[in-house]
Amino acid sequence: MSSYAAVEVTEQRVFRIVQRERVQPGPGRVRVKVEACGVCHTDALAVEGMRADPSTPIVPGHEIVGVIEEIGPGAEPWRVGDRVGIGFLGGQCGKCDSCRRGDYVNCDQQPTTGTSVDGGYAEVTYAAANGLVRIPDGMAATDAPLLCAGLTSFVGLRRAAAAPGALVAVQGIGGLGHLALQYASKLGYRVAAVARGTAKEKLSRELGADFYIDSEAEDPGQALRALGGAAAVLATASHGGSMAPLVSGLAPNGHLVVLGAAADPIPVLTTDLIFGTRTISGSLTGSSIDNEDNLRFSHAAGVRPMTEVLPLAEAEAGYLRMMSGEARFRVVLDPTL
């Protein structure tokens, strides 16, 4: 077929299904037939009009699994028929200072899939060859959230560099947190889940948590200290104020890795950092080769996202369900439905 369906957004939450013509991919680029695309909170950058020119149509979505159906000049060694993933970071320029130092995540010319370039709310998408991710044989297309939510958790754990068998805490059991619990458990850590209320205790333990801390019933920092202190805490909830008590729960040389983007600051006592030599840092997803490491481990270890699958025509409803916090825990669009 010469045309394909795509979901465009303009302004704030103006969704429109359109037909586009397939074109030959340009130099160093590929055309991909989309098998599935996850719906991520970061899609709000496109959908809520948080772009330089929100009147320009953009196709959201950056958790994409598909099959290459055409390659442009210089896109080798990729071949037609290769099964690939496309994440938020859509390929590096190779020329800026960050790239020259091998820090591809912080490339200052990097396209962001579904925000600065079209993404995967479509039957077909286009991507830079140097941003593609190889999909392991047998991985389900609907596991597409591993390409962003999974990668973010996986890289955050690696950044924390906790010793084998150490206590790792995951704050916020949602789209990121339910995957972070699985990674921490599969990697052999003692795992504490931190969430408000007790509603997610049973699920947290099923996903690998050894301990559950209800942050409404007790101070989470004190609770972590009672367990010996956490070598690492992955903070996934989008609320800076809820992250602050976790700092005092870190063991000496412990590391709070912030994964959840919040509008409010994290108020921290300097003494909690100085005494104990504790660290707070942010972590932004990972490179395409990091993502291949992530997918291989996830597939081998059985790390899976919990998903709700919808047809492409219901992209708007899927986005609104994700933003409401009611989804358990990731929404995935399947263009074949």
Cα separation, 126 vs 141, in Å, equals: 17
289: part of which helix (H) or strand (E)? helix 288-301
- Do domains 3-145+306-334 and 150-282 share one topology? The answer is no
Cα separation, 176 vs 149, in Å, equals: 5
Single-letter amino acid, residue 259? L
Cα separation, 147 vs 162, in Å, equals: 23
Count of CB atoms within 10 A of residue 102's CB? Answer: 9
Count of CB atoms within 10 A of residue 18's CB? Answer: 13
Number of H helices, E strands in the chain: 10, 15
> Under DSSP, is residue 254 helix (H, G, I), strand (E, B) or coil?
strand
CA-based nearest residue to 120, from 110, 131, 105:
131
> 231 Cβ partners below 8 Å, 6+ apart?
160, 162, 163, 166, 167, 168, 250, 251, 253, 254, 255
CA angle 162, 167, 171 (to 5 degrees): 95
CATH of region 150-282: 3.40.50.720
Per DSSP, the residues of 82-110 read -EEEE-SB----S-SHHHHTT-GGG-TT-
CA-based nearest residue to 336, from 140, 85, 149, 146:
140
Sequence-separated contacts (24+) of 13-19 with Cβ below 8 Å: 13/47, 13/48, 13/316, 15/47, 15/315, 15/316, 15/319, 16/57, 17/312, 17/313, 17/315, 18/57
Three state DSSP letters for 112-163: EECCCECCCCECEEEEEHHHEEECCCCCCHHHHHHHCHHHHHHHHHHHHCCC
Tokens describing residue 330: 């990731």
CA angle 301, 290, 234 (to 5 degrees): 70
**pLDDT value at residue 1:** 75
pLDDT in tens, the chain (337 residues): 799 999 999 999 999 999 999 999 999 999 999 999 999 999 999 999 999 999 999 999 999 999 999 999 999 999 999 999 999 999 999 999 999 999 999 999 999 999 999 999 999 999 999 999 999 999 999 999 999 999 999 999 999 999 999 999 999 999 999 999 999 999 999 999 999 999 999 999 999 999 999 999 999 999 999 999 999 999 999 899 999 999 999 999 999 999 999 999 999 999 999 999 999 999 999 999 999 999 999 999 999 999 999 999 999 999 999 999 999 999 999 999 9
> 297 Cβ partners below 8 Å, 6+ apart?
154, 186, 303
CA angle 130, 284, 46 (to 5 degrees): 80
pLDDT digits (tens, 9 = 90+) for 45-97: 999 999 999 999 999 999 999 999 999 999 999 999 999 999 999 999 999 99
Domain coordinates in residue numbering, the chain: 3-145+306-334, 150-282
Q: Confirm if 114 and 103 have CB atoms less than 8 A apart.
A: no
Q: Tell me which residue has tokens 């950056």.
A: 62
Assigned fold of 3-145+306-334: Quinone Oxidoreductase; Chain A, domain 1 (3.90.180)
Count of CB atoms within 10 A of residue 47's CB? Answer: 28
Over the range 132-164, which residues count as b (16 or more CB within 10 Å of their CB) and which as e? bbbbeeebbbbbbbbbbbbbbbbbbbbbbebee
pLDDT digits (tens, 9 = 90+) for 17-46: 999 999 999 999 999 999 999 999 999 999
CA-based nearest residue to 242, from 180, 190, 170:
170
Q: pTM here?
A: 0.96
